[in-house]
């Protein structure tokens, strides 16, 4: 609806010409006929997708959860097998991970808790990142629209 | 092209190498700085707690040389973690989409 080519003839052609560059990268719906698309459109679209595409929350949660779960498991197994005398007090994890002990059974409990904690952390990380990107997009779009209508009274 | 709709359907892929390097630099640099700060501050018993990492990182110590060793260990560990995160993420995204 903001495209020069898709809407009715503009009432302010010089303003449209000035704002043309910013509209070119605007994310507002601007369907244009294929015959009028410029060669760089595909590049711009790909760059926009690369820059602003959201992260998959569940996937990032699974990824970070897997790493955290494996990490706690490996750490516990190392302590069970090697029994280092002067090392971190790993049993203190039981303060946060209910049922955790430095044992083989505790390794699996810790893996589950590590996965759960990592999943929540990863999901929340992706959520925050997507929210920040969406907020910055919204601000940019609002700023561009305000810029477009700044000289509105000059054309009356 | 309706870029809004395309954006809503697009899912970001992770660059595994970039994630590996980023996490590696974070972990390695963090351990390097933490060690170096303790060394520069000095005192009678330098890094009593941080030194416990030597159990997992053989050769590490709270000293200037140890900070370099810690950087290497941290970078390698962080790189591996970043690669695994990127790998799992991309696999899951590829599986679901």
Chain A touched by B6 (CB under 8 Å): yes
Mean pLDDT of A107-116: 97
Of A27, A56, A71, the CB nearest to B4: A27
State which residues form the domain around B88: 25-96
- Assess if residue B19 is contained within a domain: no
Q: Counting one residue from A and one from B, how many pairs have CB atoms under 8 Å apart?
A: 78
**Tens-digit pLDDT profile for residues A40-65:** 666 666 777 667 788 999 999 999 99
Does residue A13 surpass a pLDDT of 60? Answer: no
Cβ pair A31:B2 closer than 8 A: yes
Residue B9: per-residue pLDDT: 63
Q: Is residue B64 part of a domain?
A: yes
Q: What ipTM was assigned to the predicted interfaces of this complex?
A: 0.81
Greatest mean pLDDT among A42-46, A115-119, A134-138:
A115-119
User: Does residue B10 form part of some domain?
Assistant: no
The per-residue pLDDT for A8 is 46
Query: Which chain B residue's Cα is nearest to A129?
Result: B12
Q: H or E element: which one contains A144? A: helix A104-148
Q: Tell me: the pLDDT tens digits for B82-97?
A: 999 999 999 998 888 7
- Total number of domains in chain B: 1
Q: How much is the mean pLDDT over chain A?
A: 78
B4 assigned to some structural domain: no
Could you give the C-alpha distances from A129 to A1, A20, A135, B58, B85, in angstroms and in order? 28, 30, 10, 37, 16
- CB A54 to CB B12 under 8 A? yes
pLDDT at A115 over 90: yes
Residue B59, in any domain of the structure: yes
Q: What is the pLDDT of residue A42?
A: 64
DSSP readout, A24-45?
A: HT--S-----GGG--TTHHHHH
Q: Name which residue leads in pLDDT, A38 or B92.
A: B92
d(CA A69, CA A44): 40
Residue A46 with chain B: CB contacts under 8 Å: none
Across the range B59-79, mean pLDDT stands at: 95
pLDDT band, residue B44 (cuts 50/70/90): confident
Tell me what the mean pLDDT of segment A124-151 comes to.
90
Interface contact flag, A66 B84, Cβ < 8 Å: yes
The confidence score (pLDDT) of residue B84 equals 95
- Residue A53 phi, psi dihedral angles, 5° rounding: -65, 140
Q: Is residue B76 part of a domain?
A: yes
Whether the CB of B11 is below 8 Å from some CB of chain A: the reply is yes
Q: Is residue B14 part of a domain?
A: no
């Amino acid at each position: 609806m903001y495209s020069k080519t898709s809407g009715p003839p503009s009432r302010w052609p010089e303003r449209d010409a000035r704002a043309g560059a910013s509209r070119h990268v605007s994310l507002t719906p601007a369907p244009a006929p294929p015959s009028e698309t410029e060669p760089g459109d595909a590049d711009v679209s790909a760059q926009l997708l690369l820059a602003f595409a959201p992260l998959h929350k569940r996937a990032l949660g699974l990824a970070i959860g897997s790493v955290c779960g494996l990490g706690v498991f490996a750490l516990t197994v190392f302590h069970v097998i090697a029994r280092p005398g002067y090392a971190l007090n790993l049993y203190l994890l039981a303060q946060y991970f209910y049922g955790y002990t430095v044992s083989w059974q505790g390794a699996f409990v810790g893996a589950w808790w590590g996965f759960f904690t990592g999943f929540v952390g990863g999901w929340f990380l992706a959520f925050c990142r997507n929210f920040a990107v969406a907020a910055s997009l919204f601000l940019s779009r609002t700023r561009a629209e305000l810029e477009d209508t700044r000289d509105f009274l000059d054309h009356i | 092209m309706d870029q809004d709709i395309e954006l809503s359907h697009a899912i970001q892929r992770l660059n595994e190498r970039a994630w590996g390097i980023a996490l590696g630099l974070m972990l390695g640099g963090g351990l390097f700085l933490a060690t170096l700060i303790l060394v520069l501050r000095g005192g009678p018993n330098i890094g009593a707690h941080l030194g416990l990492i030597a159990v997992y990182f053989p050769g590490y110590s709270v000293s200037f040389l140890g900070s370099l060793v810690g950087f290497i260990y941290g970078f390698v560990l962080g790189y591996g973690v970043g690669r695994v995160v990127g790998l799992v993420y991309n696999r899951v995204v590829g599986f679901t989409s």
